Structure 1
């Protein structure tokens, strides 16, 4: 049997579980880089997933604590969709993915890790990003640190915003 050592994962295993709602609490703290908040819109914000499926995996959530998609206001829905466009442009600029998975997990049975606060996932995908590791060893290889991805995506968002303002 071969072993794959991933000693950096122990920090996630041993980390205390967060008792509040990250989508409510983190934006109030004004520690955006530490909390991986990439961008703040009027009614919603973009935050990196601390346990990413792929590099650049982000979530877009409304500031208001709401657990049902159908209860979002028109303003919240529009802001979430506009931020998804911004993020896709930024991800294309920064990471050049071949495609994206976008999704909303509603309810535990659908895979929602945080059921009480709806959010939209955007996961960049590359041709060949699935390899033998998940199949053989139930292990996902993430080739970039969260800090590096944060800095790269933050710059890419600023670039997209500057391009949009020059139009």
Structure 2
């Protein structure tokens, strides 16, 4: 009951003075869609499936010999990139030396490209190893490259559990891919 006479459900969608940013696409992520349930590679792993798609459909920015760079489908900020080995491997210590070298080189290039295209003031870099460490997809290692700007954290993520992003993922992919050095594209 809202005013004691009608059930609250009758007021669904009625303005109440709050501005809302609806982010229904996040429900897929929150519900675990496309999240591998085990450590197996293949169609169940999005990081194994993405390289089989076109760059545009997979949101791939660059491809290397043993790793690739892709936009995060559920970004913390515009330009949030993931550097992933092609091989389905969960733990950093299981990477081969060529994989370690290319993931590191692609991370450095990603930072340079993001600086050129978006002028961030800083970065968060990291790998969450295992479910308890916060890995959304623990079965396939991926390095986060998150550009940061002064003031990019506000009340929305805390109060509204939403993030406002100023650009569509496809547009971001196009700009970053165009700026990626040709010699480093693979």
State the TM bucket, normalised to the shorter chain: 0.7 to 0.9
Which runs of 5 or more residues in structure 1 are unaligned?
none
Deviation at 1:12, TM superposition (A): 4.6
Aligned residues: 158
Question: Where is the helix percentage greater, Structure 1 or Structure 2?
Answer: 1
Instruction: Say if 2:133 is the partner of 1:110.
Output: yes
Cα shift readout 1:50-108 (whole Å, capped 9, x = no counterpart): 00000000101111111111010000000000101111111001000000000000011
Match of 2:46 in 1: 22
Cα deviation for residue 11 of structure 1 reads: 4.1
Q: Give distance in 1, aligned partners of 2:162 and 2:151.
A: 16
In the alignment, structure 2 segments of 5+ residues that lack a partner are: 1-16, 37-43
Which structure is larger by alpha-carbon Rg, 1 or 2?
2
- In structure 2, the residue corresponding to 1:64 is in which secondary structure? coil
In structure 2, distance between residues paired with 1:88 and 1:149? 14
Instruction: Name the SS for the 2:62 alignment partner.
Output: strand
- Is the Cα–Cα contact under 8 Å of residues 21 and 162 in structure 2 kept in the other structure? no
Q: C-alpha displacement at 1:14, in angstroms?
A: 5.7
TM-score (norm 1): 0.86
The 1-side partners of 2:18 and 2:131 are apart by 34
- The alignment's TM-score, normalised by the length of structure 2, stands at 0.78
For 2:93 and 2:28, how far apart are their aligned partners in 1? 36
